[in-house]
Amino acid sequence: MQVLQILNSKGADAVVSVKPGTLVSDAAKILADKRIGTVIVSPDGETALGILSERDIVKTLATQGASCLSAAVDDLMTSDLVTCTRGDQAETVLQRMTEGRFRHMPVVEDGKMVGLITLGDVVKARLSELAMEKDALEGMISNQW
């Protein structure tokens, strides 16, 4: 299964982004209000400069205290992004996410963000694919020749 198929199954979910300079406290509110785990830091909603996750905020809270909430997202974001394209295979993306120990991956083509997939999206797609394969195999086995 390709990333394109996963994005299509998600529907029209827009990628939630914040502009550079946004306060971490404002980004945290967006995460909580939208019940999501990450925001993309982008000046225009298309170019991904970085990614800020709940984990980034919690880790910094633990080491720096509540003062980090007054910092800009630029200070906490991961700027060395790992991305994929719509043509990448789900299995490859799953492996990269697992090895990198992250749960969100921007989908980027020609320098522009076209979507965001989560570890949950990839696992769900993979389970669906495996269920279809199982059903096909069971059908072949039980078929009367």
* Measured distance CA(66)–CA(25) in Å, rounded: 10
Q: What confidence tens digit (pLDDT) does each residue in 83-136 have? A: 999 999 998 999 999 999 999 999 999 999 999 999 989 988 888 777 777 777
For the whole model, what pTM was predicted?
0.83
At 9 the pLDDT is 85
* Measured distance CA(130)–CA(109) in Å, rounded: 28
Name the residue ranges covered by the structural domains of the chain: 3-142
Place of tokens 């982008």: 42
Query: Mean pLDDT over residues 58-69, rounded?
Result: 95
User: Would you say 25 and 57 are in contact if contact means Cβ atoms under 8 Å apart?
Assistant: no
Under CATH, domain 3-142 is a member of which superfamily? CBS-domain (3.10.580.10)
